[in-house]
Amino acid sequence: MLAPTPAHAAPVQITPDGDAVTASTSDENVPANAVDDDYDTRWSGEGDGAWLELDLGASMTVTHMKLAVYNGTERRNVFELQYWNGSRWVTVHDGETSGETTRLETFRFDPVQTSRVRYLGHGYEGDGEGDWNSLTEVEVWGTPGGDDGGDDGGDAEFPSDVLDLSDWKVTLPIGDDGDPTEIFQPDLDTYVHDEFFRVSDSGDAVRFRAPVNGVTTGGSSYPRSELREMEPGGGDETEWSSTSGTHTMTVREAFTHLPEDKPHVVGAQIHGGDDDVTVIRLEGSKLWITEGDESNHHLITDDYELGTVFEVRYVVSDGEIDIYYNGALETTIEHRDSSNYFKAGAYTQANCGNSSPCSDDNYGEVEIYDVAVTHGSGSGGDEDGDNGGGDGSDSTQAAVRHGWGTPLAISDEFDYTGPVDPEKWAVPSGTVGGTQGCWEGHDGNGRRCAKNSVVEDGIMTMTGEANGDSGWLRQRLETQYGRWEIRSRSQNTGSSGGLYHPLHLIWPTEGNRLENGEYDWVEYANPDAQCLTAFLHYPQSPTDEKERRDLCPLDMTEWHNFAFEWTPDALVGYVDGEEWFRVADGANDERGDIQDMPSGHLNIQLDNFTGDGGLRPAEFQVDWVRVYE
């Protein structure tokens, strides 16, 4: 006899109201027009890369989107559909509309859990060609509350079937006073407690519950059902330094129940030594970030509703803790200590002394859908400046994650002092302005000078001055195809003036980008930028056609690992080990395939787009440059 098929929620429209719709650009046809149920209005944004973003207000499962195109029987819109994964925009559909209707067309993709989606436009084709992106209506479809309409996870028996618990232990509100029960690996893989630590009813989360009458640890008066980070394999407790490397925990969770009288529960935290460093704590409907003993350091929201799934991410490096909520940076806390570790679960901030009834029925509860921790030995701000991750264990490097092998000899760790290595880098060699080692700057603006690129303390610093002098380096390697990875950051050091443009790019050996192409795989128009852009120019394109890709938000003042892979098949960009663009082919009567540059070399530049003077001083810092076959 066949078992009955479980019932699942059918997708419904979850399109937000107009006040939750924004765009990178628009004319008089504003973003809210795209969700007003009126085919006589539209959103229009000009430019390759113009986007329309829809904020869903909470984490939901999105299964498909519907688009209605302005003049849709004459135009085929070229676009991507993307969702925010907590740290970057991820493309789930890349294509064109049909060009056959002005009504809604459906574009399906694998279900994703997110709080934000966007349409990334690349203009239109069909009756002519243009860079306007115009939509009369947009609909978002899915299921609120995380039901993707698919497998409900009913086969999950143990919490380890839902979460990767390899490097954790769990502390439970049972056992002896001051010495609660703890479950370690390998026992944790097959452990479940029906009341305090089990798979949720939905089957896609783990339920952590701690009643006010639960057993507590020796250092606390409050009960917990909570994971504690351990060494790989889960055998021993781990600790890490906030000033060495980069340490990240991402948790997707929901508060689902609060105790009476004192409705306070912690859902995630960083602990250090004998006390918590910072926690995410719900107090009634107010969701707070704490700092040490300051329980109300930063208010995330004052109207949190129980059951709302959200994502919190801690990123710790250089003595600072950046805390993100649904992808947005909420606060930065300074913290320097070497005894830190992550925790996640339900840490109920109430007991029988301040909450009644004193029973198992009075509890705090959190459901966790996903938790992930990474530690990069070279992924941020080692105090000695050595962010190399040379042990091959840093998965925030594309070369490590994707197995690119050993760096070539042309690579540079900048482990010396003074000018850049002349065997690896060419620098300006003219005498423009009467200074040895200076050329004209970008488009004749200011000068590019050798003096503006200096190595000290393991870092190459390229300086942009107020007078328009800036730096420029060309790697002494000409090649067709290759892989490059660079660890860099930038910052404005002055308070006013025209802004410098930091770049990592592959410039064609022959110098003619209209004939040979150009790959600006890292480019941004402000050293303090919070977004990254790539401009990838087609070869054999007299009109200089190009592809644009944007990654937002991304704090360019922080250290990141930027990688570029150029093969006969595609151009691929990576940030901190994760792919953020991939483009290939595209040849037509006006251009060649985008990856077909005949030969090129790596340049590092701090470009002056302003003139001779009036610039805002800035620095472009590079920790290392690695090149691979």
Q: Output the CATH code of domain 12-144.
A: 2.60.120.260
Token pair in block for residue 203: 């089957």
Which pLDDT score, from 0 to 100, does residue 145 have? Answer: 59
**pLDDT per residue as tens digits for the range 39-73:** 899 999 999 889 999 999 888 899 899 999 999 88
pLDDT above 60: residue 140: yes
Question: Is the backbone peptide bond immediately before 186 cis, with ω within 30 degrees of 0?
Answer: yes
pLDDT above 70: residue 10: no
pLDDT above 60: residue 154: no
Q: How far apart are CA 551 and CA 533, in angstroms?
A: 6
Q: How far apart are CA 260 and CA 284, in angstroms?
A: 10
In one letter, which amino acid is 586? G
**Do 12-144 and 418-628 have matching folds?**
yes
**pLDDT per residue as tens digits for the range 383-408:** 333 334 443 446 689 998 888 888 99
Burial class of residue 301, CB neighbours in 10 A (0-12, 13-18, 19+):
middle
Q: Output the CATH code of domain 418-628.
A: 2.60.120.200
Which pLDDT score, from 0 to 100, does residue 255 have? Answer: 96
Residue 392 C-alpha from the chain's centroid? 22
Rg value, the chain, Cα: 27
pTM to 2 decimal places:
0.45
Which pLDDT score, from 0 to 100, does residue 405 have? Answer: 87
DSSP string, 172-216: EEEEETBEEEEE-TTGGGG--BTTTEEE-TTSSSEEEEEETTS-B
Token pair in block for residue 103: 């009504």
Question: Is the backbone peptide bond immediately before 553 cis, with ω within 30 degrees of 0?
Answer: yes
136 Cβ neighbours under 8 A, 6+ residues apart: 33, 34, 38, 39, 40, 41, 42, 68, 69, 70, 72, 102
Q: Average pLDDT in the 160-169 region? A: 91
Segment (H or E) for 398:
helix 398-401
60 Cβ neighbours under 8 A, 6+ residues apart: 14, 113, 114, 115, 142, 143, 144, 145, 146, 309
Which pLDDT score, from 0 to 100, does residue 401 have? Answer: 82
DSSP string, 316-352: EETTEEEEEETTEEEEEEE---S-EEEEEEEEE---T
> Could you state, in order of their start, the residue ranges of all structural domains in the chain?
12-144, 160-376, 418-628
pLDDT-wise least confident of 64-68, 201-205, 358-362: 201-205
Which pLDDT score, from 0 to 100, does residue 87 have? Answer: 64
Question: In 47-104, which ranges are E strands?
Answer: 51-69, 75-84, 89-96
Chain-wide mean pLDDT for the chain?
A: 89
Share of the chain above pLDDT 90, in %: 68
We find that the CATH architecture of domain 160-376 is Sandwich (2.60)
| pLDDT confidence tier of residue 561, bands split at 50, 70 and 90 | very high
The CA–CA distances, whole Å, from 330 to 279, 280, 300, 625 equal: 13, 12, 7, 32
Q: Average pLDDT in the 603-625 region? A: 94
Q: How far apart are CA 593 and CA 517, in angstroms?
A: 10
Which pLDDT score, from 0 to 100, does residue 501 have? Answer: 95
Which pLDDT score, from 0 to 100, does residue 129 have? Answer: 77
Q: How far apart are CA 332 and CA 339, in angstroms?
A: 19
**pLDDT per residue as tens digits for the range 493-536:** 998 899 999 999 999 999 899 999 999 999 999 999 999 999 99
Token pair in block for residue 501: 């443009």
Which pLDDT score, from 0 to 100, does residue 498 have? Answer: 92
First to last CA, the chain: 58
Token pair in block for residue 174: 């049972």
Length of the chain measured in residues: 629
CA atoms within 13 A on the CB side of 305: 5
* Contact (CB, 8 A) for 225 and 171: yes
Identify the bridge partners of residue 114 per DSSP, sorted by sequence position.
60
